[in-house]
Structure 1
Amino acid sequence: MEKSLKRMATMHKMQVTGLELFYKKGYYNTSVDEILKELSLSKGAFYYHFKSKEDFFISILQQLVVRKVYSMLIEPIEGHEDPLNLISTCIDEALQTAEHNENDYGFVLSNFITEFNGKNPEIMKYLNDTLKIWEVNLVSALQRGKFNGFVDRHIDCEGAASYIISSFIGIRTMMVEGSPTALRYRYMQQLRFFFRAMVNKQTA
C-alpha cells in the first residue's frame, strides 16, 4: 500500500511539472530531457512510470486537464434550476484566476487543441472529448433552465453553448497579450447582456 501511494505521489508530481512545461512551451517544444531535469529524475525512472512522452501527456490530460476544466467550468453549474447566473459567475471566476496568473499562456485546453490539430488523432480525441463534455453540460444546464422556466423556450441551447465556449476561448487568448482586467470587464458586460436576452421574460 505504501509503495503504491508513493508511486501515485511521484506520478502526480511528474504530471503537474509536465503540464506546466507543456503549457508554457508546447508539447512539441518540450523534451523528455527537460522534464527529467526539472524533476531531477533519471530516464529509467521516467520510463518506469510512462511508456513514452505521448503516454505521459495523455495521463496529464486524463488526470489534470479534464479535472481542471470540470472543477472550473462544469461542476459549478451542475444540477441547478436557474443556470444563467451560475454560468456567468463561473466564467468570471475562471477569468479572474487567469487575470492574476503571471505565467498566462491562454486556456490550456484550446492551446493544446491548436497545437495537436492535424498532427495527432489519438491526443486530439482526448482533447475534443474534454471540450465535448463541457459543451454537453452547458447544453444540459440551459435545457434544464428552459424546463424550469428560467430560460426562454425559443433559445437554441446548442447554439448558445457553442457561443459561450468559443467566446471564452477567444477572450482567454486575447488576455495573454492584452490588458486582462479591462478585457475581462468588457467581455463579462457583453456576456451578461447576452444572458439577459436569454431570460424567460414571463418569470424575470
Structure 2
Amino acid sequence: MERNLKRMATMHRMQAKGLEMFYQNGYFNTSIDDILKELSLSKGGFYYHFSSKEEYFISIVQQLLFRKVYSQLVAPIVGKEDPLHTIADCIDKSLETAELNFLDYGFELGNFINEFNGKHPEVMNALNDILKVWEVCLVSILQKGKTDGFVSRHADSEAIASFIISSYMGVRTLMVDGKAKNLRYKYMSQLRHYFKLMEHNERV
C-alpha cells in the first residue's frame, strides 16, 4: 500500500508540473526532457508511469484539467436556483481570478483545444469530453430554470450554453494581451444584458 501511495504521489507531481509547463509553453514546445529536468527525474522514471508523451498529457487532461475546469465553472452552478444570475456570477468570479493572475496565459482548456485542433484525435476527444460536461451542466441548469420560472420557456438552452462557452473562451484569450479589467467589465455588462433578455417575462 505504501508503494502504491508513493507511486500515486509521484504521478501527481509529474502531472502537476506537466500541466504547468504545457500551459505556459504549449504542448508542442515542451519536451519530456524539459519536464524531467524540472522534476529531476530520469527517463526511466517517466516511462515507468507513462508509455508516451501523449498518454502523459491525456492523463493530465482527464484528471487535473477536468477537476480544475469542473471546480471553477461547473461546481459553483450545480443545484443553484436563478441560473442566469448564478452563471453570470460564476463567470465573473472566474474572469476576476484571471485578471488578478499576473502569470495568466489564457484559459487552459481553450488553449489546448486550439493547439490540438486537427491533430491527435485521442487528445481532442479527452479535451472535448470536458467541454461536453460543461455544456451538459449548463443546459441542465437552464432547463431547470425554465421549469422554476427563472428562464423564458422560449429560450434555447443549448444555444445559450454554446454562446456562454464560446464567448467565455474568447474573452479569456483576449484578456492575456492586456486591459483585462476593461475587457472583463465590457464582457460581463453585455453578458448580463443578454441574460436579461432570456429571463422569464414575468421576472423582467
Tell me what 2:171 maps to.
Answer: 171
Matches of 1:4 and 1:98, distance apart in 2: 36
> Whole-Å Cα distance in 1 between the matches of residues 38 and 110 of structure 2?
25
Give 2:111's aligned residue.
111
Paired residue secondary structure (2:142): helix
Pairwise CA distance, 1:115:
0.7
Q: Which residue of 2 aligns with 1:149?
A: 149
1-side partners of 2:125 and 2:142: how far apart? 25
Q: Which residue number corresponds to residue 68 of structure 2?
A: 68
Range with bigger deviation, 94-103 or 31-40: 94-103
Alpha-carbon distance, 1:12 to partner: 0.7
Could you tell me which amino acid in structure 2 is paired with residue 194 of structure 1?
Answer: Y
Deviations 1:78-134 (A, max 9, x none): 122321111011101111111111121111011111111111111011111111111
* Superposed counterparts of 1:46-61, under 5 Å: 46-61=46-61
Match of 2:19, SS state, is: helix
CA RMSD in angstroms, aligned pairs only: 1.0
1-structure distance, mates of 2:203, 2:159? 22
What residue number does 2:199 align with?
199
Structure 1 runs of 4+ aligned residues shifted over 3 Å read none
**Which deviations, in whole Å up to 9, do the C-alpha atoms of 1:37-91 show, x marking residues without a partner?**
0101011111111111111101100111111111111111112232111101110
Pairwise CA distance, 1:203: 3.6
Alignment correspondent of 1:8: 8
| Within-5 A mapping of 1:38-49 | 38-49=38-49
Question: What's the offset of the Cα at 1:202?
Answer: 1.2
Question: TM-score, normalised to structure 1's length?
Answer: 0.97
Distance in 1 between residues matched to 2:100 and 2:8, nearest whole Å: 30
User: For residues 39 and 103 of structure 2, what CA distance do their matches in structure 1 show?
Assistant: 19
Q: Structure 2 length normalisation: TM-score?
A: 0.97
* CA–CA distance in structure 1, aligned partners of residues 140 and 173 of structure 2: 26
Superposition deviation, residue 185 in structure 1: 1.1
Q: Which residue of 2 aligns with 1:35?
A: 35
What is residue 128 of structure 2 aligned with on the other side? 128
Aligned residues: 204
Q: CA deviation at 1:21?
A: 0.6
* Amino acid corresponding to residue 98 of structure 1 in structure 2: A
CA shift for structure 1 position 32: 0.5
Q: Are 2:95 and 1:91 aligned?
A: no
The alignment partner of 1:27 has SS state of coil
Distance 2:163 2:83 in 1: 16
Q: Which amino acid aligns with 1:70?
A: Y
In structure 2, the gaps of 5 or more residues are none
Q: Which moved more, 1:15-24 or 1:76-85?
A: 76-85
Following superposition, the deviation at residue 201 of structure 1 comes to 2.3
| CA–CA distance in structure 1, aligned partners of residues 126 and 39 of structure 2 | 26
Q: Sequence identity of aligned pairs in percent?
A: 64
- Report the counterpart of residue 185 of structure 1 in structure 2: 185
Residues 125-173 of structure 1 show CA distances to partners (whole Å, capped at 9, x for unaligned) of 1111111111111011100000111101111111111111111011000
Q: Unaligned stretches of 5+ in structure 1?
A: none
